[in-house]
Every structure is written in C-alpha cells, then in structure tokens.
Amino acid sequence: MSSDAALLETARAWLAQDPDAETRAELQQLIDAAAGGSADASSELHDRFDERLAFGTAGLRGEIAAGSNRMNRVLVSQAAAGLAGYLLEVAAPGEVPSVVIGYDGRKNSDIFARDTAELMAGAGVRAILLPRLLPTPVLAFAVRHLDVSAGVMVTASHNPPNDNGYKVYLGGSNEGSQIVAPVDAAIASHILRVAAEQNVLELPRGAFETAEEGVVDAYIAATAAVASEAPDGGRAELSVVYTAMHGVGWETARSVLAAAGFCAPHIVAAQIDPDPAFPTVAFPNPEEPGAMDLAIETARALDAELIIANDPDADRLAIAIPSATDATGYRRLSGNELGALLGWRAAERAVAAASGDNGATGTLACSIVSSPALKAVAAHYGLEFANTLTGFKWVSRAPGLVFGFEEALGYLVNPETVRDKDGISAAVALLDLATSLKASGRTIADHLEEFTATFGAYASSQVSVRVTDLSRIAEVMSALRADPPVEIGGIRVEQIDDLGEGFGALPPSDVLRIWLAGGARVMVRPSGTEPKLKVYIDASSTDGTVVEREAAAAATVAALETGMRALVNA
C-alpha cells in the first residue's frame, strides 16, 4: 500500500470514530481533496496524522482540529480512557480511584471536560465535574480538598484562541501537583493502547457527579486568608484596575478580594467576561506586547495606582505600576521582579511566624530560568533555596516549600492549599503588600528600590524565537553544543552546563546554562508549550548606590542580549 493510500486509510479510520460534527466535516473535506489529487490537502493530512500530539508532563496542548496531531474529541477521549486505565492500574486493592475535572472558557473546554467525566465514570473511576467554568487554581485546589486520586483541567492557558489543552494532577502523596516523569510515560502508554485497540465511540460512558458550590467557597476562603488580617481601621484604599484577559478569573477573583477585605477594583469591561475568541488581544498572554494596552488605557483614565491582570485561566499574574519614564504612564513588572517582591514578603512572614531559638524554616524555590534574586533573599533570612526544572510541576515539589515562582508570571504563595501557580492568590498577596506599603506612605516602586538596596540589583531579559518549523529549534541547540561560544556580547564565557544528561540533583532536560565572567548567566531551552526557542539572561550588581547597581546590571544584560540575538539569529 502506498504511503498516500495508507494515510487516507488512517484518516478515514479516524473520521469513523469522530463524534464532533465540525471536525468530522473538515476532515471529510480534506480526505476528499487528497483523494482527488490535491497536494496541499495531502500535505495537511500528513501534518495531522504522521505524528501524534504527545502526552507528557505538560499533558496535552495543541490546535483544535481533526487528527491525531491536534486537539479534538477523539484525542481527548483516548486520553481520558488512558488516564482511567492508569488510575485503575495503580489503585490499591479494593480502592475505587477518583478524579475531579475542571474547564475554562475556551472553545470546546466544556465538551472535552464532559467527555472526560463520562468516560472516566464508564471505566469505573469516580468522576466529579466542577460546577461550571472556573480558573485552573480552583481545580488544583479541588484535587486536595476533595482528596481524589487525580485532577484534569481542560485549558490551554494563554495560548492562541484556537488551542486547547489537558493538564493532569495527582492527589495523595503528590498533594495535587501536576504529573512528572515517569507517571507521564505510564499514562501515555495507556493512551496509546486505547488509540491502537479501541474505537472511542464504543468506549463505555457512565454517570458522573457534579461538585457542590462548597468546593468553590472553600477555595475562596482559603485564598482570602493569604492576606494579613485587616487593620482595625480597614485596609488602605488603593485604586486598582483588573483585567481577566477574556478569561475565567474575574468571578472568583472578585469574591476572593471581597472576602479578604480589599476594595473592589475597577474592571477592563471589554476583557472581563470569558470569550474564547479573545477579540481585543493578538495573544491572550499578559507577557505579550500590547496585551495590557486596554488595562493601561483604563488605568490612565482613572489615575490608578496599580494594574492587575490574570491570564485566561487565572493561574498567572501580571502587574503594572505608574511610571513617569514610560510613554504609556505605566510599567509592567517582569515576572522576576514580582517574584522577588513576593518572595521577600514570604521570607519576612516565615521569620515572623518562627518561634523559639531555631529561627525561620522553609524553602524558597524557583525554576532554573528564573532570577537568582530569590536565592539572595533566602540566604539573607537563613531559609533554604531550591532551583528546579522549568514548570510548576517541579517548583511545587520542593521540600518545605513556603513560596515558589517562575519568571513566566507564575507564583505559588500558599502551598499548604494549592500546589500549582495561582494568579488569584498571588494577587491577594500583592494587594496585601501594596496596601500595607500605602499605609506607610510608600509604593511598589519604592519597595523595588528597597529590594535593590537590601539584596542588590537583579536585571533580566528574554529572547524568544518563534518558529514554524520545530526542527529549527533542534538545529540551534545542536549548533550551540557543537560549537559553544567563548564570549557573548564581549563578556567571557567561563562555564557551560549541559543539562541534557541531568546535572546534580536536576533530572535531564534540554537546557544549556552558560556562566559568564562577573557572575551573569544565560539559559537556552526550547519552550515546553509553544513553538519557540527561549533565551533567559540574568545579571546582578551589589556595588555602589541603588542607581549605580541598577545601571551596571542593566548594561550587562543589554550586552548579553545583543550577543545572544546574534548567536540564535533572533
């Protein structure tokens, strides 16, 4: 059988088990065109069926369309059945495994979630569906709150509008953290077995439970408790603008902020309700240029003191503060800056909570591509510090964790209740800090200067190379390994750590860590969720005044960024 004939047979077999009228129609159109000799249609079918969307430690994530290399009801059904098979396999004798399922406002999120619940139940797993579309942190909380075996969140976070995804969490000793190796491979093997042996239309479906509102109420109460107790006279009033970025954060965030005693923020009305089309932003990611433009416009009109933005599933937080030097009037803090401030807050609270003569205990953790500033905070307060691989599946597992973050706007401020990044609890911690500062006549900007005076200046930058051909990323990584640079931006390279085979306590990861003269650092890795090569640049200075420290660190970062752009052709 020719490859084209085999391809058409594979596509027709997929079509025969697709329960979705939309993806079935577009696949039928492609099959007809390819059978009629269309080279473009044949190429598209190859792209959709020559590979399979891999299930890994990030679960599944991809464009919604027909085919094994896309997100759709067939693929999700196979994933649900495979996950059910894994949970049944590892369950103790006589135990009925359980799963809680959440979903956001993206296209097909509710459909994928309901399919998962029905198929899990049909396989003999107790399945609980959250009562409506909700933020990812609520699902992560529910895994522990309901004491279930696993959790599934249907979301593609901040990806483009036509993407969706499937994140898996584990309960029990995993405490609601996302899956890591080797569990991901074990689940993937069950999924592949289902895909090879079963038609998803013939998989048994069963009745699932719908969680009570009490789950959401418990999350709201636990998250509101992140804030310090309000002073007798109430919290200082702060003019705040909030955007949900067309996601699901607002309803829950509003309740949490009210329960914590904060004044209601002003909203960016055009972005406050869930909308899977994300009509006002090119990318629904507050890190992307232009994503916070409407929030800044709203803040300017109100002369607001702070802007808070959640991403569409509300597991990330971005903030912006007034700035006389920025043309827009506001400056968005980097994930590293906010992580340093929230880590400082966590360290001070750990010290305040310490009793006896033993001092404060606990661990501050961040991913290897995040700023070294948190390590300086930990050392200053005598706390442990952990550097983990990228992703909160690793950060959340740091022993003794009291605070964790990664530079991509992810923060974990209450690990005793949620073992994942949480943009709502992080917003509570940030507002707690900001209102306390205002009560003493200070601002977030003032606090950043105090951080530099106390710990040094930490500057960072990032270079992202978006590609259409993923092989380009592998080519760049191979070239850097084969011909490592001896200098970058005029600064001497002192050491290169290749994490591909593991490094120290770190598991293997496709990451290069480059150390330079003066202590600066460059990290290079492929993105785990997008078709990008990512470069992270960090430098610090503890010499001179605050202004001199900031200037020195910034100059080093600028030189390294220029050099890295030339190396990776960005």
Cis link prior to 265 (omega < 30° from 0)? no
| Residues shown for the chain | 570
Rounded (10°) angle between helices 21-35 and 3-16 = 160
Q: Which of 165, 498, 518 is nearest to 372 (CA)?
A: 518
C-alpha torsion 190→195→201→203, nearest 10: -20
Rounded CA gap, 412 and 315, in Å? 9
Q: Is 507 left (phi over 0), alpha (psi -120 to 50) or beta?
A: beta
Nearest to 489 by CA among 561, 551, 550: 561
Strands in 229-332 per DSSP E: 240-243, 266-267, 306-310, 317-322, 330-332
Count of beta carbons in the 10 Å neighbourhood of residue 207: 9
Q: How many CB atoms lie within 10 A of CB 150?
A: 27
The beta strand positions in 6-139, using DSSP E, are 60-63, 98-103, 126-129
Selection from 181, 167, 116, 170 nearest residue 143 by Cα:
170
Calculate the CA dihedral of residues 449, 454, 351, 338 and round it to 10 degrees.
40
Angle at 155 between CA 81 and CA 525, to 5 degrees: 100
CA distance 516 to 564: 13
Q: Is 301 helix (H, G, I), strand (E, B) or coil?
A: helix
Residues carrying an active site annotation:
157
Cα gap 307→298, rounded to integer Å: 9
> Residue 300: which H helix or E strand, with range?
helix 293-302
171: exposed, middle or buried (Cβ count in 10 Å: 0-12, 13-18, 19+)? buried
The torsion angles phi and psi of 150, rounded to 5 degrees, stand at -155, 165
Q: CB within 8 A of 225, min separation 6: which ones?
A: 260, 414
Count of CB atoms situated within 10 Å of the CB of 189:
13
Query: Tokens 């459909």 appear where?
Result: 111
Structure tokens at 461: 């930058």
DSSP state of 276: T
Q: Give start and end residues of each alpha helix (H) in 124-272.
A: 136-145, 183-197, 214-224, 249-259
The token pair at 43 is 């190429």
Name the β-bridge partners of 267: 242
